[in-house]
Amino acid sequence: MLGVPFALGADRHGVDMGPSAIRYGGLSAALDTAGVDYTDVGDLSLPTLQSQPASTDASAKYLDAIAEMTDTLADRVATEIADGSVPLVLGGDHSIAMGTMRGAAQTSELGVIWFDAHGDYNTPTTSPSGNVHGMPLAAAHGYGDFAEMPWATAPNVAEENTVIVGARSLDADERAVLRESDISVFTMEDIDKRGIGPVTDEALDIATDGVDDVHVSLDLDWLDPDDAPGVGTPVPGGVTYREAHTAMERVADRDAAESVLRSLDIVEVNPILDQRNTTGERAAELAASAFGKRIL
């Protein structure tokens, strides 16, 4: 369990307190109940919004600090995996996934499942906001501007093994790129029609096809804002809390059968925007479900 208190990718105060909110939300107790053998190694020491001058690059804000974070986190994740652990990384905004994926994919092929309301496939050229938390999946694939930023890419992560689940808010450029790519995208319409269980099972089939393991990235804005209000970019019409549990339980079931989970990050919990730490508690419980917690 590793905290990454980082907000520069969102350019918004509060999300850097996400690791504390998730821990306070009962993460240790939930993991204990699930019988997980874990160690909380604390938080990384990283640049903060308060320590940075205002970004002068409107196309990709605070990119130098984000590169520093990515390198630091990638090295730590790679070390933990080499020591036989499965990193549970607590964000922080979604730009931290650049570091988690880069570290997890250093030595062998990796699939990715992206549970998110958004595609996170913008680049500095296409981003409407310049906030890098909307770019990490494009960065992992070295797409567009990121082809010239090797620090941002995740080696051994292929489009064919990348799956976005629950998308419901895509920018025009993202939509065009994703349609032409080999990335699989399951929208909320797919979940409504087919159910979260079958969609998650197919996402796992795609992400694990021909690769060694999978990274799971869970953005709390994937949930409907009624269930997870404490996020920076809420989008109505998301999955319910129960559906999110089902998805994480399917991940745990596959891992129990095939040992496929290499790393998990949980991101975008912002206690400043939350209601009595509801979202922090949701994040803690969902993490435990991904590691095998069950009702019975």
Ramachandran angles phi, psi of 148, nearest 5°: -100, 10
Binding residues for Mn(2+): 94, 116, 118, 120, 219, 221
Annotation says 133 is catalytic: yes
Cα separation, 121 vs 143, in Å, equals 9
Q: Are strands 157-167 and 261-267 parallel, antiparallel or unpaired?
A: unpaired
Annotation says 215 is catalytic: no
Binding residues: 94, 116, 118, 120, 219, 221
Identified catalytic residue from 118, 141, 215, 245: 118
Sheet holding 88-91, edge to edge: 2-4, 88-91, 261-267, 213-219, 110-115, 157-167, 184-187
Strand partners, 4: 91
Ramachandran angles phi, psi of 160, nearest 5°: -60, -20
Identified catalytic residue from 16, 80, 93, 116: 116
Identified catalytic residue from 16, 145, 221, 249: 221
Identified catalytic residue from 11, 80, 94, 255: 94
Annotation says 116 is catalytic: yes
Annotation says 13 is catalytic: no
> If 0-12 CB within 10 Å is exposed, 13-18 middle and 19+ buried, where does residue 210 land?
exposed
Would you say 84 and 185 are in contact if contact means Cβ atoms under 8 Å apart?
Answer: no
The residue to which tokens 């992560």 are assigned? 157
Identified catalytic residue from 16, 133, 215, 285: 133
Annotation says 80 is catalytic: no
Annotation says 94 is catalytic: yes
Annotation says 274 is catalytic: no
Identified catalytic residue from 11, 80, 145, 219: 219
Annotation says 120 is catalytic: yes
Identified catalytic residue from 16, 120, 243, 265: 120
Please name the residue ranges forming H helices in the chain. 18-24, 27-33, 63-82, 97-104, 136-140, 172-180, 188-194, 196-208, 241-258, 278-290
Would you say 10 and 232 are in contact if contact means Cβ atoms under 8 Å apart?
Answer: yes
Active-site residues: which are they?
94, 116, 118, 120, 133, 219, 221, 268
